[in-house]
Chain A
């Protein structure tokens, strides 16, 4: 069964550093998403991306966040200047349509 692949599985970064989380969506999928889950808390929507542009974003997704689909196969989330409160599990998701999409297994980001 096709999977959404996220790398790395765990990333540690220093506060203030830039970090890029990488995702390889399922081939031929057109809709892409990032969610995050702070330890012990709810899964939160960050952003949706379709047709090479952001289609929706949450209040969490402020100017320090950006997304990109650089080469037609990867989908990245960049956090420009990480803060301690950015520590969370980040999930990428993709779908051939805008519902029932598939999540990856996540990247655990630890900001120290």
Chain B
């Protein structure tokens, strides 16, 4: 599985957009980009995933660059409840397994 690189931590003001970057320069053509988050010590929560097109759901938007070497998760209006560790994960098509890194700790402040 391709390795991902994320900033260790980020801050965001409540109500503003949170843009979380992820580098995955060694991603191959059949690998998907997944985003999960973990609030405190709870179980990871699925946010969104994509292959090459930008994706949007009720939680977030995922922007994948044309060369697929990086992506950005966007939380359009961050709330205090969005404070969590966010994981960017590259997953091969032929496995269900998710390989978690250390993620980005997002702190949303009032």
Contacts and interface: CB of A to CB of B under 8 A. Distances in A.
Interface in A46-78: 48, 50, 55-56, 58
16 contacts: A31-B96, A33-B96, A35-B98, A37-B41, A42-B101, A43-B44, A43-B98, A48-B96, A56-B96, A89-B41, A98-B96, A99-B32, A100-B34, A103-B44, A106-B42, A106-B43
Contacts of B46: 100-102
B38 interface: yes
Interface in B83-100: 87, 91, 95-100
A42 B102 contact: yes
Interface of A: 4, 31, 33, 35, 37, 42-45, 48, 50, 55-56, 58, 89, 91, 93, 98-106
Contacts of B43: 4, 91, 93, 103-106
B96 A100 contact: no
Chain B: number of interface residues, binned into ranges = 20 to 34
A27 to B, nearest CB: 18
Interface of B: 32, 34, 38, 41-46, 49, 87, 91, 95-102
Contact of A58 (B32, B44, B97): B97
A93 B6 CA distance: 25
Contact of B96 (A37, A42, A99): A99
Contacts of B44: 35, 43, 91, 103
B16 to A, nearest CB: 27
A33 B98 CA distance: 10
A43 B16 CA distance: 29
B52 to A, nearest CB: 16
A99 B49 contact: yes
